[in-house]
Amino acid sequence: MDLSEVRETYEERGLDVAEVAASPIEQFQRWYQEVSDAGYWEPNAMTLSTVTPEGWPAARVVLLKKVDEQGFVFFTNLRSDKASQLVAVPQAALTFSWVELRRQVRVMGAVDPLSSDEADAYWATRPRGSQLGAWASDQSTVVTDREELDQRFGAEMVRWRDEDIERPAHWGGFRVEPRLIEFWQGRPDRLHDRLRYRRQDQEDAQRQDWVIERLAP
């Protein structure tokens, strides 16, 4: 399959250093709100990139559940491949691709597990079916077929039929504390706008001093 002739023209408004927020989190929230207001499907979907024990990059799409000045939060099965990789190498990259607005955001940072209280608080908001699924699925392990999963789910439905569903000890969340955040805006003639926010002291994730740099596309 030859895709060499597949291309798009970018005519969107550009990114100006004088107009963006001083905080990359505020700038992210501005862009996210614009995408959300436009009605695009799952704007909180992001590609989470980790590293395997053998040094291979591993990427998958997960859902952002919270963002503030502390970082970007998501939840998962703590026995999953991604969780094991983050425990071994607590660094990750996130990529948001909002193609409808010709925008992309890249985040790089250190990763910390969330507290039990934070995990419990979010768990309580999950639909009951999602809670049951967290118990039924031993994520990233091999299963015989779909029927096996359905049987496990049915067993959990019976088990928790008359009770509130507790959060499994193997289910929780992580926070990516950003060191670098890059905003990409498609522009004509492939001269795209790239603005990178970089912490002045990258060893101190609590500092809120950011340098904004324009990068060549």
Structure tokens at 156: 């959990």
Q: How far, rounded to the nearest angstrom, does the alpha carbon of residue 99 sit from its chain's CA centroid?
A: 16
Which residue among 128, 159, 190, 214 is the active-site one? 190
Question: What burial class does residue 96 get, using C-beta atoms within 10 Å of its C-beta: 0-12 exposed, 13-18 middle, 19+ buried?
Answer: buried
Q: What are phi and psi of 62, to 5 degrees?
A: -130, 175
| 190 in active site | yes
Length of the chain in residues, anyone?
217
Q: Work out whether the CA dihedral 4, 8, 10, 12 comes out positive or negative.
A: negative
Residues 28 and 66 sit within 8 Å (Cβ to Cβ): no
Please give the C-alpha separations between residue 184 and each of 147, 167, 174, 190, 196, in angstroms, as whole numbers. Answer: 43, 38, 25, 12, 9
Active-site positions? Answer: 190
